[in-house]
Structure 1
């Protein structure tokens, strides 16, 4: 084993560089460290998952150094480990409530730019990210993305959330119909206020499919109204997708499950939405068919 260690080209190179620091006795005492070093790969093997790594510490490469005439081994992350940690960091910057996995994995490059409206949307998203990078602060206004069912509005939210995550900006992405149902259940387990606070205080809030179901006066005024009022007052960016334009959404919000028409209260919600967002129509064919 001793001969195998000392004839190893990597060990010979290391010992030559540190010949003035390591005596014969030093080298003999450190043979176990040198053996640990040559028993592992010192270059990333390029596997697609560090779970397949054969090194002692998965995803880490051994390097040698001399400290007070003693050989020490340091372990540094390989390229794959760095990529995995970067992906994990990005994923941790996006909190999701009831959103599909494929939406949360969307990127700007995945968006089909085959329509003038889509070009504008991609430009608006890029401008938002650029403004955040350059100023160090989030712009206070998001956009209200509306269009027919299946044109890809949700994927825009996912792509934008990932772009923001790449610059360490945290987003909360919410599928509104399920979220409102969850809020009703939260009354029973006393978590309602906690959940509303979590949503309303998000650095970036993305609400998907607003208006997809008839709301009660309570969900409209006490849940959405509270969230929008707080975000408007604090100037926190909010992004919304809907099948309705502003006017259609206001009409929808005025209809309660009891059949009442509450124009004033719907108008109050819409004032907040308009203060928080810029309307953009997304055109195109249904891509879910």
Structure 2
């Protein structure tokens, strides 16, 4: 943003420049914003105001920019997303009153910071970042498919219960056909509860399990990942049952996480399979074949700690 001095430099010297300076000063002092400032701080002398013409000019212009805001990314003010506020303040031993300025964040910047803060509370692993960036709509949750209305009702009740009573120990198990919006519902829940201050992690299981196998030689990364999932307020395992499981992931990763969280913090799941099919999935690995007791042991950390919710509806993947 140009200063008053920059404007005056565009004029040639002598009487013409002085006349232009007097005109600009007069226009500035007659501006309603400056008139209001002077009426609020009657102790400000004309001499002080004359010494701070550049500050008054910036103050006036930044408020004009905010009135016709072109958006944060095109903010013309000296400090992006901020505007200048002026006040009178005593300075020095003599008690002279001077003009002081401070930068105030605008509403759009505050809204962006709030959104970023909410997003920082929810971490995702191997999820569609573009879909998450689009946000979540309560109208879409409720109206897009009436066949899932019962499931949506239970989700809304859970969100409301957590807001009223605090973090629950039980989670939800959303089961249903491919593409019925189970992941979207879980993302909506995390987004809404982030507003209440809760942290969340959502993990796409098929890719997560494959990545864990590649981390086998990096135990510190595995420990960090497990600790994050143990400690987050809300943990969602998305598309569980679709992963290519091995005994190590089942017993030492999933088992460790779920053993810690049960009776402490809620864990959530989305799946195309019901709980009985999931137990059979946990009981068989490509390496060791059937291990029914190990599958049952893991399910003992899932089944008693979730409410089963069937999500009806049609496949929405690729729909407008």
What's the TM-score once normalised by structure 1's chain length?
0.91
Aligned residue in 1 for 2:230: 200
The change in CA–CA distance for 1:227 and 1:108 in structure 2 (over 3 A counts) is farther
- The separation in 1 between residues aligned to 2:184 and 2:26, in whole angstroms, is 60
Where do 5+ consecutive residues of structure 1 fail to align?
none
1:253-268 aligned at under 5 Å gives the runs 253-258=282-287, 260-268=289-297
Question: 1:59-116: CA deviations, max 9, x gaps?
Answer: 1122221112111222222222122112111111111111112543334333254666
The change in CA–CA distance for 1:107 and 1:222 in structure 2 (over 3 A counts) is farther
Aligned residue in 2 for 1:36: 58
- The separation in 2 between residues aligned to 1:284 and 1:35, in whole angstroms, is 60
The partner residue of 1:173 within 192, 202, 213 is 202
The partner residue of 1:272 within 276, 279, 301 is 301
More deviation, 22-31/58-67? 22-31
Aligned residue in 1 for 2:31: 8
> Size of the alignment, in residue pairs?
285
- The separation in 1 between residues aligned to 2:146 and 2:313, in whole angstroms, is 10
Where do 5+ consecutive residues of structure 2 fail to align?
1-20, 91-96
Query: Computing the radius of gyration over CA atoms, which structure comes out larger, 1 or 2?
Result: 2
Aligned residue in 1 for 2:15: none
The partner residue of 1:229 within 259, 265, 283 is 259
Corresponding residue SS for 1:145: strand
Q: CA deviation at 1:284?
A: 1.4
Corresponding residue SS for 2:100: strand
1:137-176 aligned at under 5 Å gives the runs 137-176=166-205
Is 1:95 the counterpart of 2:123? The answer is: yes
Aligned residue in 1 for 2:4: none
Aligned residue in 2 for 1:25: 47
Aligned residue in 1 for 2:101: 73
The partner residue of 1:131 within 151, 161, 171 is 161
Corresponding residue SS for 1:219: helix
More deviation, 240-249/124-133? 124-133
The change in CA–CA distance for 1:244 and 1:15 in structure 2 (over 3 A counts) is same
Contact 1:107 1:162 in 2 (8 A): no
